[in-house]
């Protein structure tokens, strides 16, 4: 199964950019890279996803390495409300249900 | 408002009792999922369904059962056979299949006394 590897935790100062890394060295050609985040005692929420090109939306940016073996979620200005656990997951037609797997993610702490 | 609802938010049961957790969505999504989350851990898939009247086991289906009689509803029963049922249970849905973005409900925290 194609799995991802993320640091257990990261810290950031408020209003500074945050770069959350994810390694996925066994990614297949048809797998999309998805990011979700989970605030305490809530369900995860979708953040962003991409296939090959970098992606931007109102929440974040996703930078994907040229070989697609790693990606980085970028929060341009961290706020206290961004403190959450961030999950990097692979999704694809071939990946299927075998990889409906959320690891422990990266716990982001934002320091005021 | 479109979304996924789970009820109740907190649930207490005595050991040995079966309990059913509700999950409803009005997003017109075909696929629905149940996950379990233990403290400080990630999410583990219990069951998923990609179409009405059909569902598949996930990684930790033992001690759980589901039904999918309606598109909008995917209830999860935690049976007495589940050895350690106390956990946070999350329901999700996606438009079609497992490759799509998932939308999660607020979760039900089950405590078995």
Whether the Cβ atoms of residue B45 and residue B34 lie closer than 8 Å to each other: yes
| pLDDT score of A95 more than 60 | no
Give the pLDDT of residue A69: 95
| pLDDT score of A97 more than 80 | no
Looking at beta carbons, which residues of chain A come within 8 Å of B100?
91
pLDDT in tens, B42-101: 899 999 999 999 999 998 999 999 999 999 999 999 998 888 999 999 999 999 876 778
Whether the Cβ atoms of residue B44 and residue A103 lie closer than 8 Å to each other: no
Inter-chain residue contact B33 with A100, CB threshold 8 Å: yes
Interior/surface letters B99-112, b for 16+ CB within 10 angstroms, e for the rest:
bbbbbbbebbebeb
Cβ-based interface (< 8 Å): residues of B facing A: 4, 33, 35, 40-45, 48, 56, 58-59, 88, 90, 92, 97-107, 109
Cα-trace Rg, chain B: 13
| Distance between CA atoms of residues A48 and A68, nearest Å | 16
Reported as a pLDDT band with limits 50, 70 and 90, residue A49 is very high
Reported as a pLDDT band with limits 50, 70 and 90, residue A94 is low
Reported as a pLDDT band with limits 50, 70 and 90, residue A100 is low
| CA quadruple A44, A46, A50, A53: dihedral sign | negative
Reported as a pLDDT band with limits 50, 70 and 90, residue A12 is very high
Average pLDDT over residues A58-74: 96
| pLDDT score of A83 more than 70 | yes
- Closest residue to B98, CB basis, from A45, A49, A97: A97
């Amino acid at each position: 199964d194609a799995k991802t590897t993320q640091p257990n935790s990261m810290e950031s100062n408020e209003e500074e950019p945050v770069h959350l890394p994810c390694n996925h060295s066994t990614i297949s050609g048809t797998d999309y890279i998805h990011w979700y985040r989970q605030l305490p005692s809530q369900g995860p929420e979708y953040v962003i996803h991409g296939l090959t090109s970098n992606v931007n939306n109102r929440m974040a940016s996703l930078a994907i390495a040229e070989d697609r073996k790693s990606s980085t979620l970028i929060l341009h200005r961290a706020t206290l409300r961004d403190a959450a656990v961030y999950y990097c997951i692979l999704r694809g037609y071939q990946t299927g249900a075998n990889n409906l797997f959320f690891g422990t993610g990266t716990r982001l702490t934002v320091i005021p | 408002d479109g979304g996924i609802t789970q009820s109740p938010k907190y649930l207490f049961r005595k050991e040995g009792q079966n309990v059913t957790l509700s999950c409803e969505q009005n997003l017109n999504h075909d696929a629905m999922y149940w996950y379990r989350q233990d403290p400080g851990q990630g999410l583990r898939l219990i069951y998923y369904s990609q179409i009405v009247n059909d569902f598949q086991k996930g990684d930790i289906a033992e001690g759980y059962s589901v039904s999918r009689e309606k598109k909008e509803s995917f209830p999860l029963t935690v049976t007495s056979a589940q050895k350690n049922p106390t956990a946070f249970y999350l329901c999700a849905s996606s438009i079609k299949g497992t490759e799509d973005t998932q939308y999660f409900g607020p979760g039900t925290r089950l405590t078995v006394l």
